[in-house]
Structure 1
Amino acid sequence: MRSPAELGHVHWHDLTHAHGPAEDVPELIRALYADDDDTVGEAIHELYGTIHHQGTVYPASAPAVPFLAHAVLHAPGRRDALLVLLAVLADHDPQDTESPSWQGSSAAAVCTELARVLPDLLPCLDDAERAVRRAALRVVAAVADRLPAEVRATAERRVDALYATDPVAAVRADALVALDRFGRGAEAFDSPFPEVRLAAAVLAAERSGPPYERRTVDVLAGAGSEPDPGDDEFPWASGVSQEDRLTDLLTRDADAGLTAAARWIAAGDLGARGSRLVRRIAETWRDREPEAVALTLAALPHQRDARAAAHCLTTIGDWIERLPEPGADLRDALYDHARGEDEAAAPALLALVRSRDPRALDLVLRNPGPEALGAAASAFPEAVDRLVPPIRRTLAAGATGNGAIALIGALERCGAAARQAQPELLDCLRTRRAAVVAARRIGRAGIVTPETIALLDDAAGSTDSSLSAAAAVAHHRLTGAADTALRVFEDLLAAPGPVHWHLSGLQPLGSAAAPLLPLIEPMLTARYEWTRMAAAEAHHTVTGSPERAVPVLAALIGPTPVGLRALRALASIGRIPEELRPTLRSFASSPLRLLPATPFAEVHPDEELRTLARTLLARD
């Protein structure tokens, strides 16, 4: 250990942390000895943002370890917090220590320093405060694999004693975890303490991997339903609570996770633990939507307030369209919440609309919010004549931002009836409210008036590149003249910076964009993958030839947003290279979701990926 008097012996100005030179570290360490608890707390907070930042350590981190160890024993307070800081600094995966990045790394240096001072910290295992004992166990666990033989033996004996005799069950559970880091597996499924049983089950599940044994799942489901299982966090989990770690573990095995979630929900869904796990499983695994919706519906009565209920209702709304037929009980529950006036009403109404329950339409017309109107336009195509007037009124009332975008999107689903909204769309363009989507809709509506053309001409000259592109394309759609669009896109494609969204906007121009080919063709080999994808799309659109586009698009196919876009383009072209078939089969058959949800997407990206793959595989 090193006292504050030795801080000047370290060349801190030659070391760095998360924000540059580490010259401020000595001041932060000295502040740990202050009598003012706020000062100490602020210093610890700053150390978390400098020598440790978002899971990363730096050259200044290891030299700080001996000083922090001294502060643990000699500063007036916050012993547990300082011990946790040391453990977090040394946190690492023991399986990674043989990797090339480990040797000589800042992480390795931190572990070396902490292993060196650990003998001085072992008395903290006998501290009268449980929080200090738990934090000390976390320190031991962090470097258990890095200790010299003699220190290891001493530390293991002391941890073993805590496991056998500590009066606090949570401390015993942490000791079990630390013993596991020493390679000491302990059979604790029959422990009288739920915290210990839970720790044992988590360790067993992590060792075996999914699918978990039935006995392990029974313990995870049973002990996990207890109030605050394990009380705080595992000693090695950097910044991750025990509850989050348990959720992560159970998400890896959908059957085990849903079994546990059902038990937790039946026990009252304490802290929304079960319903949160259900949501994670539905987001991670394909085809579990019926079970997820059923369990979330069962959890709904247990929610303590409208905000918690809204989370459950949002989950139901996300997946209800994937059900073969939403049951009457589900739709009645949604209807009851949708009629309310708290924050649970909006997600309930959206879910009710997506269930295509006839009662939803009356509720939407009574309280026409932008998102609900858009969903209703999809769910009730027979009612678009009733939906267009409230959409028009809401747009005319000055809707802006995402609300205006949602309303214009609703018009897209209303077919010919949406032509009535041309005045409101022109006003959006004139006042620059959701002007980009308004310009696109105006171009597709096909209504040509002098006012429309004048507004599009003005918008095509906007300094907002997205608006100028959308307006230029709309101008071409309505007039058939390409001069304005060619001028705008020539400037946009020649400008520095990303241009893929402008390339994607060329599709409506078709062969009229041929003069832009000298700008498009070099982008087929651009470094940025989105640019290559959009250039390939544009090249095929302009030339009608797939020869140059298909190889570029095929090389981008993968379970990524750009890969999905490339696959969509290949499907449109109708040319799928034979060598892509194994990849398509993996997209079609994976039990895991390969793409996450994205905001405002009408179709879940993973569902689109699977559907495209199946459709293409079915082609000869």
Structure 2
Amino acid sequence: MRSPAELDHVRWHDLTHAHGPAADVPDLIRALYADDGDTAEGAIQELYGNIHHQGTVYPASAPAVPFLAHAVRHVPGRRDELLMLLAVLADHDPEDTESPHWPGSSVAAICAELARVLPDLLPCLGDPARAVRRAALRVVAAVARLLPPEVRATAEHRVEELYATDPVVVVRADALVALSRFGREVEAYDSPFAEVRLAAAMLAAERSGPPYEKRLVDVLAEDGAEPDPGSDDFPWTGTWSSDEHLTRLLTRDVDAGLTAAARWIAVGDLGSRGSRLGRDILDTWRDREPQVLGLLLAALPHQRDTRGSARCLTTISEWVERLPEPGADLRDTLHHYAHTEEETAAPALLALVRSRDPRALELVLRNPGPETLRAAATSFPEAADRLVPLVRRTLADGATGNEAIALIDALARSGTAARQAQPELLDCLRTRRAAVVAARRIGRGGVVTPETTSLLHEAAQSIDPSLSAAAALALHQLTGDADPALRVFEGLLSAQGPVHWHLSSLQALGSAAAPLLPLIEPLLTARYEWTRTAAAEAHHKVTGSPQRAVPILAALIGATPVGLCALRALAAIGQVPEELRPTLRSFAFSPLRLLPAIPFADVHPDEELRTLARSLLSLT
């Protein structure tokens, strides 16, 4: 350990942390000893923000360890917090110690320092405060495999004593986990303590990997139903709490996860554990919507407040369209919640619309909102004559931002010709309310009038590149005049910075964009993947030839956002290089979701990835 008197012996100015030079670290460490509790608390928070920032450690982190260890012993009121800071600083995968980068890494230096000061910290295992004992166990566990033999033997013996005799059950459970870091496997499924049984089952799940054996799943489902009230303060892995760790383990084995979620919901969905696990399963696994939405339906009566109910209903609204035929129980429940207070009524009504329940239409007409109108336009195309006037009126009332975008999209989904809603679209363009989307919609079937062309010409001069491009393209689509668009895109493609958005837009010009080929072709070899993707797609649209585009797009295919975009472009071309078929099969038949959801996206990216892959595989 090193006392604050030695802080000036370290060249902190030459070390760095998350925010640059570490010159502020000495003052933060001194502040830990302040009589003012707020000052010490603030210092700990700042240390979490610089020497340990979002899971990353830095060159200044290791030199701070012996000073933090001294503070642990001499600042009793902050002992548990300081021990936890040391534990998360030293957190690592034990297998990393064999990797080439480990010896020179910042985390290796931290662990070396912590191993040196650990004998001075072992008395904390006998501290009267259980929070301190729990935090001390995590410190021991962090470096258990890196301790010299004598220190290791002493530490392991102290941990074993806690496991056998500590009066607090959660401390015993923590001690069991710490023993596992010493390489000990303790059979504890028959322990009289649920917390210990749960810890043993989680360790076994980590060791075995999925699928988990039945008795392990039974313990996880039975003993994991009630949250550990202190788990958020005592993460075992990085900044994961033990509850989060349990959820991650169960999500890896979908059948075990569904079993546990059902059990947790059946006993009251305490802390929303079961419904949260269900949401994680939906995000991780394909084709589990029927089981999980059934669980969320069962969880609704157990929610303690409207926020919990709203979360369940929002998840149902996001996935209900994936059900082949939403059941009557689900639809009746959604109809009930659609009549409740606003926080739950809005997602319930949206879910009811997306479930195609006829009762939803009347509710939407009585209480219209942009998102529900857009959803209703898709679910009830036969009601366009009732929906479209309402959409137009709501748009004319001054909707802005995402609301205006949703309303314009509702017009498109209802099959409304742009000429029918042209007055509202022109007003959006004039007042710059969702002007980009309005210009695009006008271009797809608007009526050529002096007012229309004048507003589009004006918008084409905008300093907003997206608006100028959309307006110039709309002029071309309405009048056939490509010159405004060619001038706009020549400027956009010649500018510094990312150009892939503009390349994607100009595809609407088709062969009329041929004068821009000298600007497009060099971008086929750009370093930025998004630019190469958009350039290849644009080149094909302009020239009609797939020869140069297909190899570029095929090389970019992957389970990534840019890979999905390249796959979309390849599907539009309709060619599949033979060497791409194994990758496409993995996309088409993976049981796991390969891409995460994107907020406000109409189609889940993973669903699109699977659909496109299957479509391309069907090509001969």
The TM tier, using the shorter chain, reads over 0.9
CA distance in 2 between partners of 1:206 and 1:52 (Å): 26
- Other-structure match for 2:245: 245
| Per-residue deviation, residues 533-558 of structure 1 (Å, max 9, x unmatched) | 10011101110001011111111111
CA distance in 2 between partners of 1:118 and 1:279 (Å): 41
CA distance in 2 between partners of 1:580 and 1:437 (Å): 35
CA contact (8 A) 2:236 2:242 kept: no
- Other-structure match for 1:338: 338
| Residue aligned with 2:103, SS | coil
- Other-structure match for 2:10: 10
CA contact (8 A) 1:521 1:535 kept: yes
- Other-structure match for 1:196: 196
- The reply to whether residue 394 of structure 1 matches residue 394 of structure 2 is yes
Listed as ranges, the matches of 1:103-142 within 5 Å are: 103-142=103-142
- Other-structure match for 1:319: 319
**1:133 Cα deviation from its structure 2 partner:** 0.5
Listed as ranges, the matches of 1:56-71 within 5 Å are: 56-71=56-71
CA contact (8 A) 1:141 1:235 kept: no
- Other-structure match for 1:87: 87
| Residue aligned with 1:420, SS | coil
| Residue aligned with 1:314, SS | helix
| Per-residue deviation, residues 541-590 of structure 1 (Å, max 9, x unmatched) | 11000101111111111111111111111111111111111111111110
- Other-structure match for 2:601: 601
- The reply to whether residue 268 of structure 1 matches residue 265 of structure 2 is no
CA contact (8 A) 2:388 2:416 kept: no
Identity over aligned residues, as a percent?
A: 79
| Per-residue deviation, residues 327-384 of structure 1 (Å, max 9, x unmatched) | 1111000001112232011110111001100000111111110000000000011111
- The reply to whether residue 256 of structure 1 matches residue 251 of structure 2 is no
Note closer, same or farther for the CA distance 1:514–1:235 as it changes in structure 2 (3 Å cut): closer
- The reply to whether residue 571 of structure 1 matches residue 561 of structure 2 is no
- Other-structure match for 1:520: 520
CA distance in 2 between partners of 1:475 and 1:600 (Å): 29
Could you tell which deviates more after superposition, 438-447 or 204-213? 438-447
| Per-residue deviation, residues 94-139 of structure 1 (Å, max 9, x unmatched) | 0111112211111111100000000011000000000010010010
| Per-residue deviation, residues 426-485 of structure 1 (Å, max 9, x unmatched) | 000000010000000010023111100000000000000000000000000000011000
- Other-structure match for 1:145: 145
CA distance in 2 between partners of 1:61 and 1:324 (Å): 54
**1:165 Cα deviation from its structure 2 partner:** 0.1
| Residue aligned with 1:448, SS | coil
CA distance in 2 between partners of 1:392 and 1:195 (Å): 59
Amino acid aligned to 1:195 = E
- Other-structure match for 1:456: 456
Note closer, same or farther for the CA distance 1:259–1:230 as it changes in structure 2 (3 Å cut): farther
**1:509 Cα deviation from its structure 2 partner:** 0.8
Note closer, same or farther for the CA distance 1:461–1:448 as it changes in structure 2 (3 Å cut): same
Amino acid aligned to 1:29 = I
Could you tell which deviates more after superposition, 388-397 or 178-187? 388-397
CA contact (8 A) 2:418 2:446 kept: no
- Other-structure match for 1:550: 550
Consecutive unaligned residues of structure 1, counting only runs of 5 or more, are: none
CA distance in 1 between partners of 2:238 and 2:605 (Å): 32
CA distance in 2 between partners of 1:56 and 1:313 (Å): 36
**1:47 Cα deviation from its structure 2 partner:** 0.7
- The reply to whether residue 19 of structure 1 matches residue 22 of structure 2 is no
Could you tell which deviates more after superposition, 282-291 or 236-245? 236-245
**1:506 Cα deviation from its structure 2 partner:** 1.3
CA contact (8 A) 1:373 1:391 kept: yes
**1:306 Cα deviation from its structure 2 partner:** 1.4
Listed as ranges, the matches of 1:401-412 within 5 Å are: 401-412=401-412
- Other-structure match for 1:38: 38
CA distance in 1 between partners of 2:419 and 2:364 (Å): 21
CA distance in 1 between partners of 2:238 and 2:162 (Å): 22
Q: TM-score, normalised by structure 2?
A: 0.99
- Other-structure match for 1:307: 307
CA distance in 2 between partners of 1:416 and 1:276 (Å): 40
CA contact (8 A) 2:227 2:243 kept: no
- Other-structure match for 1:226: 226
| Residue aligned with 1:428, SS | helix
CA contact (8 A) 1:17 1:50 kept: yes
CA contact (8 A) 2:417 2:446 kept: no
Q: How many residues align?
A: 620
CA distance in 2 between partners of 1:601 and 1:5 (Å): 57
CA contact (8 A) 2:418 2:442 kept: no
Listed as ranges, the matches of 1:278-293 within 5 Å are: 278-293=278-293
Amino acid aligned to 2:415 = G
| Residue aligned with 1:481, SS | coil
| Residue aligned with 2:159, SS | helix
| Residue aligned with 1:419, SS | coil
Consecutive unaligned residues of structure 2, counting only runs of 5 or more, are: none
CA contact (8 A) 2:198 2:220 kept: yes
CA contact (8 A) 2:211 2:253 kept: yes
Q: TM-score, normalised by structure 1?
A: 0.99
- The reply to whether residue 99 of structure 1 matches residue 99 of structure 2 is yes
| Residue aligned with 1:415, SS | coil
- Other-structure match for 1:47: 47
CA distance in 1 between partners of 2:529 and 2:189 (Å): 51
Amino acid aligned to 1:288 = R
CA contact (8 A) 1:225 1:263 kept: yes
CA distance in 2 between partners of 1:538 and 1:519 (Å): 11
| Residue aligned with 2:158, SS | helix
Note closer, same or farther for the CA distance 1:536–1:232 as it changes in structure 2 (3 Å cut): closer
| Residue aligned with 1:490, SS | helix
CA distance in 2 between partners of 1:235 and 1:363 (Å): 46
Amino acid aligned to 1:423 = P
Amino acid aligned to 2:104 = G
**1:22 Cα deviation from its structure 2 partner:** 1.1
CA contact (8 A) 1:370 1:404 kept: yes
CA distance in 2 between partners of 1:590 and 1:489 (Å): 40
Amino acid aligned to 1:539 = H
Amino acid aligned to 1:122 = L
Amino acid aligned to 1:446 = G
| Residue aligned with 1:445, SS | coil
CA distance in 2 between partners of 1:241 and 1:423 (Å): 55
CA contact (8 A) 1:134 1:174 kept: yes
CA distance in 1 between partners of 2:447 and 2:39 (Å): 67
| Residue aligned with 1:505, SS | helix
CA distance in 2 between partners of 1:294 and 1:506 (Å): 45
**1:76 Cα deviation from its structure 2 partner:** 4.5
CA distance in 2 between partners of 1:69 and 1:104 (Å): 22
CA contact (8 A) 1:177 1:235 kept: no
| Residue aligned with 1:23, SS | coil
CA distance in 2 between partners of 1:512 and 1:45 (Å): 59
Note closer, same or farther for the CA distance 1:232–1:508 as it changes in structure 2 (3 Å cut): closer
**1:418 Cα deviation from its structure 2 partner:** 5.3
Could you tell which deviates more after superposition, 223-232 or 170-179? 223-232
Listed as ranges, the matches of 1:404-423 within 5 Å are: 404-416=404-416, 419-423=419-423
Amino acid aligned to 1:25 = V
- The reply to whether residue 485 of structure 1 matches residue 485 of structure 2 is yes
**1:228 Cα deviation from its structure 2 partner:** 3.0
